[in-house]
Structure 1
């Protein structure tokens, strides 16, 4: 019996220490008591069974923490009742969703929720007026109070919520006019099923009719026009109200003057006075005369059009016969000159060189193809060319490249032309002449990442969702990693990673384009000041571009995906982070300043705020981007490692030691690699 008692004291001591640690942990967290008080008052059905003071509150169901403080609380469809006032003590809350419960009474003051971004209180039994404290939540993006018993007017102070993307007030009892809301980012708005009246503000008229339904006294676009609204509010009794259906339209109560000439009926009497024969005949036009006038006008216009057409066609035909084609046509339609250099004796014409497995065509086929300009880059202009047989290719016309000689050019193209991978744009052929160099690539029909991110940011835009952004990031990483590992002897680099060089095929897969052309950059352009925000610090000093420089550029690309901002056009003043940088700063520096001040959520694109349960993935990708944009090259990861980290976020396993990363290229021998050195 002595032996067990000998172990009993240490066991009891450790048990006591364990409980004291738990108690001290709960005491240190100021959010614990607020959550327990809410559970005690509202959880009548015992749905919050995991909420126990003996466990870490950050592991409780529906609770997420940031730096040991509750930042996200999602308690939906749990039959919670009463008031949620105890939760207003959670001062670090950023997301609060209490949808589909039985919470009731007035919405308590939310003044403590200074960091709140998303608020969902729909499908409850809240009553009372629109909570005034909500209009002070300046960081709010989503506000959903729909399907409650709220009443009163919608305050104009909603305009204080300048970041608001969603405003749902449908299914309540709000009355009065809709205030003139000036919320430039508002995308989701609904006030159906209330008692609102008057005219829909012009600032909201672009929303569909379904956003205003079941409000019988509302009018104006997109609803029926407000024909029955008295136009002159200065008249007694008008007050801008809708006229009675028993009152003749357009007539309002009028004060009658003592002068007989101002009686209301006098105007009507004078207007019905019979007109003389002369007055009648001077204003009436017979139908035959009207038809004759119209036919005459049409004939005159047709004659003038024919004369103009004949005149201009004659001049144009004459120019064609003289061999002087229009410069406008030359720039828009005739993309590739049939004579790539001035006709001189003794000069040989260049030829098209095709790579293995490519359907061949002649240079003349390319010159005859209808062409459409896709964009201009650092080394020339890219065009979409539709050949006579229906095939579509992309052609890059090199203009600003510094090419030493034909042999050097051909050797380098031989290396690039053998690279095949699902995430790069394959080089299919090239053409070399003294005054003309053409590169022929696969055509990518879905444009560039730049356009998807920054194009058409106005109404009607389809935002780039998070899953697609992550897929593009993974595909681009795979393509760049393959380029880095395709030729060990050369250590190929891309040299110009940016969102305009990430193209998408018809299924939305990312392809890296324009790789390997940085070797033709002139020394002046390589040492030029930062122009696009993607260049690594060491590349600005005139040093040779390396694979680690590519990694930096790719990190900036990831930041562009996460923030929705152009790399060189970030205004530090709009973040409210107090970063201390005035005006425009580069994207990595802006992101680092915001993260350093622990406002990480401020970094992310507003268009991503609509998606739930992606915060962890976004933060994970942000950490990868920050690592890639480290100032020192040796602190940046290799692209193989970057691929693995991104695929881990996506939940995709990458086979270790698979350096080729799904290569489809023919084997590149060391001789081939060395030929281009």
Structure 2
């Protein structure tokens, strides 16, 4: 029988058709891991969440979707960022379609109307930043979040999430931000320990129990709105622990007694409870001791005389011990209070003979006694030494070089006085030369040194008093309700003024490179006109290196434990860069306590994760049109805080960059020539800066 040729041809064509179908299936699978697959997932999300057509730009007709689709960014042919904030996106399960974006690193859907549970996010293994706040999401925090090992920031605040805070979040060892506030979470938060956490908030939930010690360092605002939470930084847990036990005891006493219930209660209740009930009842009679138990002797067998003697003796011992303790502590308290009173009322209390004895040491006949002298550095002599020593004073603060006071003179004048300590310049003439050189530095952005007092054991510096405090207090003081934020214009003006003052110091001496030596936000003061002025300039040569005391502003090349005076202009630029970061972020620079974040490292980590907007102070978000200026200032700050000194700009270049951002162009430091250029002045400046490290 002859074979049908059609059947024969079908047999020949079947294997190629199967191979073609398999290849098409493989292409479909490959497309799910390609840009086309990512775009298909985005279109599925749009179909479920965009009834208002806010994502109209998401269209296949666009040739370059990564640059034309709203909120979409790509890298290496994959979607890596999706930022869609405040677009009124809605939909119950719209988030599920985004789990196919397996190369997504940043997902921000803040301030939308998305609802439903948070889906399984485990496919998003590359995710680093997740912001879902201000939506209508519900259900528990999914355990799959703990599998996102690269996650740095998680913000699901202001939703309707319920259930508890999962302890599996501890697996997110890189987490810097955890915002769970304003949800309906319940249960305890014990066991939560994230060592790198910097921003944490669980306020306005229904959590209860003790706050774990690992979270106690965060402010109380991170926990408020949970009435049953207790422990530092909130109220202690003693009341919260004792209260639940009282209703249980009352319930047991009030429960109806039945044979079965009574037997159960008797078996379960500890014996001391029954003893306490008997002892608390005046009319109760002592029960007979159980067989075999020895009865304790009662006081009834003791004579009244013995009882009286014992009571009187105990009372006498108590009186004697109380009297001794009272005398001991009273002497300590009185001594401390006396010295504190003198220090609060007088700037100098250890060298009062200088004022009261007219330079004669009591009982010493004046041998070897140095009365010291008051030297005024300008012609405006407004007070005498005795006036200063009699002045009532208020401590403004204690710094690395001494204690600062606000002194009110008899005529009502107010000056700022710094009482130096640990001065390593022992020669009187050397100290005087240094003070005269600093006194010649006159600039509108420097706090002028008006006078100094020099004796062997006492050295005082007198400055103009700045009534508006320091930049540190303006930035970080009272960050709570009722605070008046420091606006962007004021921050820029302070930054520009401080930079000009520092540039003047660096260029004031032609013969040597003079440095400030202790640039920080507490040394940038504000005068009555709102002008920024640098304080404590040039004091780095008087004592151990300030870098050793203030490690937060210490340049990488500075000695960590400086025993000798040290300063450099490059280190000044680095410290000024940290001040700029303070102005931009609103966060304080880390000190030696370790309780505050390392500001340059934190900023660099956020910028490296391509989420630069998270760097800036939230108080600046209310101002519109300043984004470009903030970014420009951030670039300057990062250049100033470069690790290598030769990679930092000179401070005069920093001034020019700040002025360009502010839209100001001033002559090139026209005020530099206000410092005396006489030969004697140059010589004095050279002498005072001897030993200062060069750039």
- 1:674 partnered with 2:685: no
Task: Report what 1:337 is aligned to.
Answer: 351
- 2:201 pairs, out of 188, 192, 197, with 188
Partner of 2:403: 382
Q: Which residue of 1 aligns with 2:7?
A: none
Q: CA deviation at 1:44?
A: 2.0
Would the aligned equivalents of 2:524 and 2:535 in 1 still touch at CA under 8 Å?
yes
Asked if the contact 1:368–1:387 (Cα under 8 Å) also holds between the matched residues in 2, the reply is no
Question: Does residue 43 of structure 1 match 2:69?
Answer: no
1:200 aligns with one of 209, 219, 223 = 209
Instruction: Specify whether residues 435 and 112 from structure 1 end up closer, same or farther in structure 2 by C-alpha distance, changes over 3 A only.
Output: same
**Contact kept in structure 2, 1:411 and 1:675, CA below 8 Å:** no
Deviations along 1:126-157, one digit per CA (max 9) or x if unpaired, are 34432222234464445224333x45444332
**1:642 positional shift:** 0.9
Q: CA deviation at 1:101?
A: 1.6
* Residue equivalent to 1:7: none
In 1: Cα distance, 2:589 partner to 2:90 partner = 41
Per the TM alignment, residue 116 of structure 1 is displaced from its structure 2 partner at its CA by: 3.0
User: 1:443-491: per-residue Cα shift (whole Å, max 9, x none)?
Assistant: 457776789999999x99x999996877765443232123234x36456
Task: Give the direction of change, closer, same or farther, for the CA distance of 1:349–1:552 in structure 2 (3 Å limit).
Answer: same
Q: Classify the secondary structure of the residue corresponding to 2:461.
A: strand
Matches within 5 A, 1:143-154: 143-148=155-160, 150-154=161-165
Matched, 1:502 2:502: no
CA, structure 1 residues 259+338, in 2 after alignment: closer, same or farther (shift >3 Å)? closer
The verdict on how the C-alpha distance between 1:270 and 1:431 changes in structure 2, with shifts beyond 3 A counting, is closer
**Do residues 439 (structure 1) and 452 (structure 2) align?**
no
- 1:354 partnered with 2:376: yes
Structure 1 pair 335–153 and aligned structure 2 pair: CA distance change class (3 A): same
What is the Cα deviation at residue 497 of structure 1?
3.3
- 3-state SS in 2 of match to 1:641: helix
1:497-527 alpha-carbon deviations (Å, 9 max, x no partner): 34376244488875322223456679xx799
Counterparts of 1:161-180 in structure 2, within 5 Å, are 163=175, 165-168=177-180, 170-172=182-184
C-alpha separation in 1, matches of 2:582 and 2:471:
10
Which residue is 1:657 aligned to?
Answer: 667
Partner of 1:364: 386
2:19 alignment counterpart: none
Give the 3 Å change call, closer, same or farther, for CA 449–569 of structure 1 in structure 2.
farther
Shift of 1:636: 3.6
Residue number among 520, 528, 533 corresponding to 1:511 in the alignment: 533
Aligned partner of 2:514 in structure 1 is 493
CA distance in 1, matches of 2:251, 2:558: 81
Cα distance between partner residues in 1 of 2:278 and 2:546: 85
Could you tell me which residue of structure 2 aligns to residue 643 of structure 1? 655
Per-residue CA deviations over 1:358-411 (Å, capped at 9, x if unaligned) read: 56221122223355483353xx423315234352412243652437663x6556
| 8 Å contact kept, 2:200–2:222 | no
Match of 2:146 in 1: 135
Q: Retained in 1: the 8 A contact 2:500–2:655?
A: yes
Tell me the residue number matched to 2:289. Answer: none
Deviations 1:298-344 (A, max 9, x none): x979x9599959x969x99xxxxxxxx98997899745624569774
Cα distance in 1, alignment partners of residues 108 and 278 from structure 2? 69
**CA pair 598-214 structure 1, distance change in 2 beyond 3 A:** closer
Give 2:416's aligned residue: 393
The alpha-carbon distance between structure 1 residues 367 and 128, as it changes in their structure 2 partners (threshold 3 A), is closer
| Aligned partners of 2:83 and 2:109 also within 8 Å | yes
Q: CA deviation at 1:109?
A: 1.7
For 2:554, which of 512, 515, 534 is the aligned residue? 534
Deviation at 1:91, TM superposition (A): 3.5
Distance 1:177 1:307 in 2: 45
Residues 56/429 of structure 1: CA separation in 2 closer, same or farther (3 Å cut): farther
> Conserved in 1, the CA contact under 8 Å of 2:518 and 2:546?
no
In the alignment, the residues of structure 1 paired with residue 558 and residue 263 of structure 2 have an alpha-carbon distance, to the nearest angstrom, of 91
Q: Distance in 2 between matches of 1:669 and 1:153?
A: 71
- Closer/same/farther in 2, CA of residues 76 and 59 from structure 1, 3 Å limit: same
**TM-score, normalised relative to structure 1:** 0.62
Q: Identify unmatched segments of 5+ residues in structure 2.
A: 1-33, 230-234, 287-297, 302-311, 687-695
Aligned-partner SS, 2:128: coil
- Give the match for residue 84 of structure 1: 95
Q: CA deviation at 1:97?
A: 2.9
Alignment of 1:185-584 (within 5 A): 187-192=200-205, 199-203=208-212, 211-212=225-226, 225=240, 229=244, 256=261, 308=327, 334-335=348-349, 337-338=351-352, 344=366, 349-356=371-378, 360-370=382-392, 372=395, 374-377=397-400, 380-389=401-410, 391-397=414-420, 399-402=422-425, 406=429, 412-433=434-455, 436-443=458-465, 473-485=495-507, 487=508, 489-490=510-511, 493-499=514-520, 502-505=523-526, 510-518=532-540, 534-535=554-555, 537=557, 547-548=569-570, 550-555=572-577, 566=590
| SS of equivalent to 1:551 | helix
Q: How far apart in 1 are the matches of 2:265 and 2:69?
A: 84
Kindly state the Cα deviation for residue 202 of structure 1 after the two structures are TM-superposed: 4.0
Instruction: Summarize the alignment of residues 1-80 of structure 1 with structure 2, pairs less than 5 Å apart.
Output: 34-51=41-58, 53-54=62-63, 57-58=66-67, 61-62=70-71, 70-71=80-81, 73-80=83-90
Is the Cα contact below 8 Å between 1:257 and 1:263 reproduced in 2?
no
RMSD: 6.5
Residue 211 of structure 1 aligns to a residue whose secondary structure is coil
- Determine if contact 1:482/1:660 at 8 Å carries over to the other structure: no
Give the 3 Å change call, closer, same or farther, for CA 370–95 of structure 1 in structure 2: farther
C-alpha distance in 1 between matches for 2:75 and 2:474: 32
Partner of 1:14: none
Distance 2:182 2:449 in 1: 55
After superposition, the Cα gap between the structure-2 partners of 1:29 and 1:463, relative to the gap in structure 1 and judged at 3 Å, is farther
1:89-145 per-position Cα deviation (integer Å, ceiling 9, x unaligned): 163534513323244454342551644345234332x34432222234464445224
The count of corresponding residues between Structure 1 and Structure 2 is: 584
CA distance in 1, matches of 2:496, 2:201: 31
The answer to whether the Cα contact below 8 Å between 1:422 and 1:479 also exists between their aligned partners in 2 is yes
Contact 2:164 2:186 in 1 (8 A): yes
1:231-279: CA deviations, max 9, x gaps?
8xxxxxxxxxx87998766899995577999899x97997876559xx9
Q: What is the distance in 1 between the residues matched to 2:224 and 2:117?
A: 29
